[in-house]
A and B are shown apart, each in its own frame.
Chain A
Amino acid sequence: MSKSIKLKKGFDINLAGKAEKKIAEIDQPETFAYKPTSFQGILRPKVVVDEGDNVKAGTPILFDKKNDKVQHVAPVSGEIVEIRRGEKRKLLEVVILADKKIEYVEHKKFSVSEINNLSTEEAKTQLLESGTWVNLVQRPYGVVADPEDSPKAIHISAFDSHPLAPEYDLLFKGQDQYFQAGIDILKKFTDGVIHLNIDGASEVSQLFSHAKNVQLNKFSGPHPAGNVGVQIHHLDPINKGDVVWTINPHGVIQIGKLFIEGIYDASKMVALTGSEVKNPQYYKTFTGASIKKMVANNIASDNVRYISGNVLTGEKIANDGHLGYFDHHVTVIPEGDYYELFGWIKPTTKSLSFHRAFGLLSFLNGNKEFVVDTNTKGEPRAFVQTGTFEKVMPMDILPTFLLKAILAEDFDEMEALGIYEIIEEDMALCEFVDVSKHDVQEIVREGLDLMQYS
């Protein structure tokens, strides 16, 4: 039943600064942060620890009052040094000063055969209490999954097609056993299929190709072929009333480890990438790591932007900021806060563009890697040009009409045009190529919030 799907629409943003396939040895960062802002739909977070408290890796530190069975836990052991809040006391992050040696909260261990015989309820309880449940993301809306739901299917994208994304081969090397255990646990939660969607264009690691209890599907084509939303659309689209879950391989492995080793292990591999990084490479650290030590003495220029995640969906952080929960990659690119004389008409082969309007000659450069800064390269305008969103949207969805429906707050129209099938990342490329410089992802989230909460 496995499917092989070739996508034509989309655009690969070829940036300079790909991480070299080697793992750097560094001292572990001093601080780690847990960011509730990495999750959608946490409306009323309640912090259960105070500054000065000592926690172990896996100690609950906060929960959402709306979804109080789901625990959010500390990624490492140490002392809570800061609970940072923003405007209107919005909880931004809980910062932990890490111990030299990580201590873990102990959970129940299971052998492989015990895992197979485990009841769904027992598995659910352990997932919820351990803090690994938050890896499960529900579609529609892209929020933390509801423990009461039984999803139609579970989808796992086994590759990341975003610009400068790390190679999953390297990220998850040697974790085969945990990955399979994670799959076996997840299988208990759905009567449907677990779709494991691999990159059809390159060699796939054994971890994925030998996985059992899954339907292996191949996707090839330019970005966003690796986006799980696009994959769902082509495999088993989300209709009104459907609930499906998505999870990334890191989450699956974390779940597997929890049941086999009995610990909440937040260790992960992180790629440091981008044109401004002197030695782009991989680091072994934990969820929420501070990037301070990775970027120290490793940045080629002064005026740069640090991004937790990739250039399309990531978030700007400070040079001592912390990684977002789901991010496995840091991008450092130049800031673009400069004026350029006649910048709007100068012919150039250096500025990356999906378009070929007068003077935009980047398409002549073939496979060259581009250095792109954060300049918006234009000002916001009304929707004028048509047909470009469609070229980077490999889904049977009409992006312009959907965006206009959201802006008009027309609920029926949003639903009919397929808002349940997308989250921000699926339309990030539209935001990139937009001639009129709209904040497409922000509009998409507004639409999803409208659908979910009103």
Chain B
Amino acid sequence: MKFLRDQLDKVKPHFEKGGKWEKFYFIYEAHDTLLFAPNHTTKATGVQIRDAVDMKRMMMTVIIAMIPCLLFGIYNVGYQHFLALGQEAALVDMLLIGAIQVIPIVVVSYGVGLGTEFAIATIRQHPINEGYLVTGMLIPLVMPPDIPLWQVALATIFAVVIAKEAFGGTGMNVLNVALTARAFLYFAYPSQISGDVWTYLGDGTAVSGYTGATPLSIGANSLTTGENVVASMGSYGAGWADGLFSFSNLFFGFMPGCIGETSTLMCLIGAAILIITGVGSWKIIVGVFGGAYLMGLGMNAIGLNEFMLMPAQYHLVIGGLAFGAVYMATDPVSASQTETGKWIYGILIGVLTVVIRVFNPAYPEGIMLAILFMNVFAPLIDYYVVNANKKRRLQRATV
């Protein structure tokens, strides 16, 4: 350990003011502090001791909460692959195929994203914030398994530069960075991120009966066909994957979809980690699920078409609602920052998701747009909550 420290101390002067690589100080600092918690002490005035928490640990906690989704995602990509090809396969093979598909996406996301961060930190001379550690994992998890890597890279650069750094970096962004990457692909390359992309087929040909449908697309189709959504889901996969879209399958996540978002169960495990550690706001998570469920019930009551009649609990397990609620909506920077605001923000995301799903078949994945939309509205929610606080203070004043 001492050797490592000595080496770092040896090169440190080159990066400090007046050194030959002084421009790259923040890159050096990022690596140094990743290895060693620095020897900084508190100032002569102000608090003399500090809490043991820091941004790195906070962000790491979120990454740990995402690991169940990542692992299940890797497995599920392989599972869906062999299912669609109609082949029997061992667990190892599924994991292998999944890993071959997923890991490059993760590597590209981190490599390109961190590279962009380093470049901008050097140009603008600010410390490298740890925010990208989380974003870099979120981006792969909301990508279809079949996505070309260059698109991942492009979306990552767009998101980091336009959604984050243009606003001043971590802590200043209005929109969730990872969702911006996803939205970019959605609108820039619509053909590659919708339709038959949710299962990785490779060079193989799919079994007969395979259509590449997802629960969401079945729901959207019901608007034109007028068939019962649950019945259509139940009959899909007959012959090659019986009960593929049964409620339990949807809950456990054995369905095609984005890499990390299919399993509601894994998202709930992640939610438990975030809530127990206090890193994610339980108010937002509960708000999204609650809002979506209540809106689903409301839709049932109106019941104008088959999608509206889909039982409300299905809304919670199809698509990316759970993933969005747990990992995306809780991003503290783009979410509402007041405690009352967090309830309103969460509930409205849930409500909007169901509204978008049911009324706008062109964008079957409602959660992405709902969260981005509410990101934009979060400051407005906060504005009213803060105003209420100011008003309480004004009311008791006599001057």
Contacts and interface: CB of A to CB of B under 8 A. Distances in A.
Interface in A340-387: 340-345, 348, 351-360, 362, 372-387
A432 B50 CA distance: 5
A343 B37 contact: yes
Size bin of chain B's contact surface? 35 or more
A239 interface: yes
A264 to B, nearest CB: 28
Given A355-B278, A356-B277, A437 B43 contact: no
Given A237-B396, A416-B390, A362 B47 contact: no
B139 to A, nearest CB: 18
Interface in B104-157: 127, 129-131
B57 A360 contact: yes
Interface string A392-434: 0000111011000000000000001110000000001001111
B52 interface: yes
A306 B159 CA distance: 48
Contacts of B171: 381-384, 436
B338 A437 contact: no
Contact of A386 (B42, B169, B335): B335
A95 B4 CA distance: 47
B302 interface: no
Interface in B273-294: 276-279, 281
Contact of B40 (A355, A376, A381, A416): A376
B277 A241 contact: no
B44 A316 contact: yes
Contact of A376 (B42, B58, B276, B397): B42
A440 B342 CA distance: 24
Contact of A439 (B5, B46, B277, B389): B46
Nearest to B342: A387
Nearest to B63: A358
A441 B1 CA distance: 36
B53 A416 contact: no
B11 interface: no
Contact of A358 (B39, B277, B335): B277
B172 A341 contact: no
A351 B50 CA distance: 10
B61 interface: yes
Interface stretch (A19-27, A105-113, A328-336): A328-336
A342 B35 contact: yes
A453 interface: no
B51 A396 contact: no
B47 A311 contact: yes
Contact of A417 (B35, B49, B339, B386): B386
B41 A374 contact: yes
Counting chain A CB atoms within 10 Å of each CB, which of B48, B333, B337 scores highest? B48
Contact of B127 (A340, A348, A374, A379): A379
A312 interface: yes
Given A357-B61, A417-B389, A384 B51 contact: no
B37 A386 contact: no
A312 B43 CA distance: 11
Contacts of B35: 341-342
Given A331-B48, A337-B41, A435 B390 contact: no
Contacts of A354: 51, 53
Contacts of A335: 41
A441 B46 contact: yes
B56 A378 contact: yes
A390 interface: yes
Contacts of A313: 47
Given A382-B171, A384-B170, A433 B51 contact: yes
B40 A358 contact: no
Contacts of A358: 57, 60-61, 64, 277
Contacts of B396: 237, 239
A384 B333 contact: yes
Interface string B316-353: 00000000000000001101011100100000000000
Contacts of B17: none
B285 to A, nearest CB: 13
Interface string B19-47: 00000000001000111111111111111
B397 A239 contact: yes
Given A239-B393, A382-B170, A416-B390, A441 B38 contact: no
Contacts of A344: 33-34, 37, 54, 56-57, 60
B399 interface: yes
Contact of A375 (B37, B131, B386): B37
Q: Which of A13, A333, A344, A400 has the most CB of B within 10 A?
A: A344
Contacts of A342: 35-37
A396 B278 CA distance: 22
Nearest to B338: A398
A388 B337 CA distance: 11
B48 A339 contact: no
A378 B50 CA distance: 9
Contacts of A390: 339
B55 interface: yes
Interface of A: 13, 237, 239-241, 305, 307, 311-316, 331, 333, 335-345, 348, 351-360, 362, 372-388, 390, 396-398, 400-401, 416-418, 428, 431-437, 439-442
Given A357-B277, A379-B40, A432-B50, 8 more contacts: A344-B34, A344-B60, A348-B52, A357-B58, A378-B53, A381-B127, A398-B389, A435-B58
Closest 8 CB pairs of A and B: A378-B54, A343-B37, A382-B171, A351-B52, A239-B397, A241-B399, A358-B61, A316-B44
30 contacts: A237-B393, A239-B393, A239-B396, A240-B397, A338-B39, A339-B5, A343-B37, A345-B56, A352-B52, A355-B51, A355-B53, A355-B58, A355-B278, A358-B60, A360-B52, A373-B49, A375-B40, A375-B50, A376-B38, A376-B41, A378-B57, A381-B170, A382-B170, A386-B281, A387-B332, A388-B278, A397-B389, A401-B382, A436-B171, A441-B47
